[in-house]
Structure 1
Amino acid sequence: MKILNLKMYSFMLLAVLFAFSACSKDDDPADNDLFTGVYNGRVSFNGGGSTIAEQDGSVRVNKVGDNYTFNFSGDIPSLGDIAMEKGDNNTLRLSNGEFGTISIDASTLRIAFNRDGQTWTANCTR
C-alpha cells in the first residue's frame, strides 16, 4: 500500500510541476506558435480611402516561419509579413514607410501600426 501511495504522490507532483512549467509569460512569439489563434476586442482601420471606426471585432493571428499575419474581422484588410523579434513579446518597427507597435502574449493583443499611410489598431483578449 505504501508503494501505491508513493507512486500516486509522485504522479501528482509531476502533474503539478508540468502544469506550472507548461505555459509561461516569458514565452516569446519568435520562439513558438503559442500566440496563434483568435483574439476578440476593439479594432479599427484607416487608409486607402476607407475608415472603419473602432468597433467590436476579432483578429486571427497566423504564423508562417518567423512571420506573423493579423487577419481582422469585417472589412479591415490583413496586416501581414510582421517579423516578431526575440525579446519583449512585441515588435516596434520604424522602417520602409511603416512604424508602430504590436504587443502580444497568450491572452492579450495590442496593435497600433501604420504602413504606407494605412493604420490598424486592436485592443483584444482571448
Structure 2
Amino acid sequence: MKKLLKFFLVTFFALFVFAACSDDDDPVDNDLFVGTYTGTVGYTDATTTINADGNVRVVKVGNKYNFIFSNSIPNITGVEFRREDANYSINVDGSDLSYIRINANDLKIFYVVDGKTWTANASR
C-alpha cells in the first residue's frame, strides 16, 4: 500500500511540475509557479567556489520562493518577495548589494548570507 501511495504522489508531483507553468508565465503574477532558468550560476563560501553554466529551478508557493540550483550548489529556500515594478519582483531583504530579481524571462541573483554568495544570470 505504501508503494502504491508513493507511486501516485511521485506521479502527481511529476505531472504538476511539467504542467505547472508555460514559458511566458510570470512568477510575479502567479501564486503557484515552477520554471527553469538557464545561464551562468555560481556559489562561493569559505571552502568552495563554483562558477559554471547551469540552471536554477524556481518554485513559488504564495509569496515564498525556492531556488534549486544545478552543479551541486546549495539551494536557497523560503525567500519572500515584494513587487518592485510591473516587470520584476525583488526579495524582501534585497538591496543594491544583495538581491534576487525575477520576472517571466530573467533571473538575476547576487545573494549574500552568512559569508556565502550565490550568483545567477539566467533566462528561460
1:55-86 Cα deviation digits (max 9, x unpaired): 10000000122100100001100011110112
Q: Name the counterpart of 2:79.
A: 82
The ranges of structure 1 where at least 4 consecutive aligned residues each deviate by more than 6 angstroms after the TM superposition are none
Q: Percent identity?
A: 42
In the TM superposition, residue 35 of structure 1 has moved relative to its aligned partner by 5.5
In structure 2, distance between residues paired with 1:119 and 1:40: 19
Q: Which has the larger radius of gyration?
A: 1
1:37 to 31, 35, 41: 35
Alignment match of 1:66 (pick from 38, 57, 63): 63
Q: What is the CA distance between 1:103 and its match in structure 2?
A: 1.3
* Corresponding residue number in structure 1 for 2:115: 117
CA contact (8 A) 1:36 1:63 kept: yes
Which residue is 2:48 aligned to?
A: 50
Greater shift in the superposed pair: 82-91 or 108-117: 82-91
8 A Cα contact 1:35 1:106, kept in partner? no
| Residue 46 (structure 1) shift | 0.3
Q: Scaled by the length of structure 1, what TM-score is found?
A: 0.66
Number of aligned residue pairs: give it: 97
Structure 2: state its 5+ residue gaps: 1-23
Gaps spanning 5+ residues in structure 1: where? Answer: 1-22
* Partners of 2:31 and 2:74 in 1: CA distance: 22
CA distance in 1 between counterparts of 2:105 and 2:94 reads 26
Counterpart CA distance in 2 for 1:116 and 1:109 is 22
TM-score (norm 2): 0.67
Q: Deviations over 1:22-50 (max 9, x none)?
A: x79xx662x41576310000000001521
